[in-house]
Homo-oligomer: A and B are copies of this chain.
Amino acid sequence: MIGQDERAVEAVLFAAEQPLTLAEIGAAAGEGVDVAAALAALVQSYAPRGIHPVERGGRWHFETAPDLAHILRRTREEPRKLSRAGIETLAIIAYHEPVSRAEIEAIRGVQISKGTIDVLMEAGWVRPAGRREVPGRPLIYATTAGFLSHFGLGSRRDLPGIDDLRAAGLLDPVDDMLFNVEVESAGDEA
């Protein structure tokens, strides 16, 4: 039996043009609706169906089941194709956020061209997230809720392998200054 709360939440999510927070769903569905319980019930009742309610970064929306991609894809354009630099930069921001441009460059070992971060911001996946309080006060970048939705991540904890990488110390704050200094001084000698 489908409860009235469930029906209301399902209709709200269905009609919404944007993913909605619990509070937004509650505001639309009306007073006294137990949104969390209704969502849990919906997730269960839609599990076998061709469309599902999903949570991405604290916001909910309906999307089609991934296994049906083949029938839906043919009429659609491929989403934005990123350059290799773009993909790596996005991964670095996602796994290290917030991170400055210099820190991204330290990990990649090369300068990133001016447009790379712009492309990621234009896609709605990356946003400026303030400045690092170090000399020069560089801008730092972080990912957005749109990034989580696009890549089907409930939260940053769902980033593939993030726990292993952290345990291996590969996500520690980037400090390659010494290495770079050495390179330069070695270069001077050469």
Interfacial residues, chain A to chain B (CB-CB below 8 A): 1-2, 6-12, 14-15, 28-30, 48-51, 62, 64-65, 68, 71-72, 74-75
Partner of A2, one of B49, B62, B68: B49
Other A-B pairs, 15, CB within 8 Å; known A8-B68, A28-B71, A28-B72 = A6-B50, A7-B48, A7-B50, A8-B50, A8-B71, A9-B50, A10-B51, A11-B64, A11-B71, A12-B71, A12-B72, A14-B62, A14-B64, A15-B64, A29-B71
* Closest Cβ–Cβ distance, residue A79 to chain B (whole Å): 14
Contact partner, A10, options B7, B8, B49, B75, Cβ 8 Å: B49
**In the complex, A75 Cα to B25 Cα: how many Å?**
12
Would you list 21 pairs from A and B whose C-beta atoms are within 8 A, ordered by A residue? Answer: A1-B48, A6-B50, A7-B48, A7-B50, A7-B65, A7-B68, A8-B50, A8-B71, A10-B51, A11-B51, A11-B64, A11-B65, A11-B71, A11-B72, A12-B72, A14-B50, A14-B51, A15-B72, A28-B71, A29-B71, A30-B71
A14 contacts across to B, CB distance below 8 A: 50-51, 62, 64
* CB proximity of A43 to chain B, nearest CB, Å: 14
Tell whether, in the assembled complex, residue A11 and residue B50 are in contact, meaning their CB atoms are under 8 Å apart.
yes
Closest chain-B Cβ to A60's Cβ sits at a distance in Å of 14
A28 and B68 within 8 A (CB): no
Question: Which 9 residue pairs across A and B have the least CB separation, nearest first?
Answer: A7-B50, A11-B50, A10-B50, A11-B64, A11-B68, A2-B48, A14-B51, A15-B72, A30-B71
Q: How far is the CA of A10 from the CA of B30 in the complex (A)?
A: 27
A65 to B29, CA, bound (A): 13
Which residue of chain B lies nearest to A14 when distances are taken between CB atoms in the complex?
Answer: B51
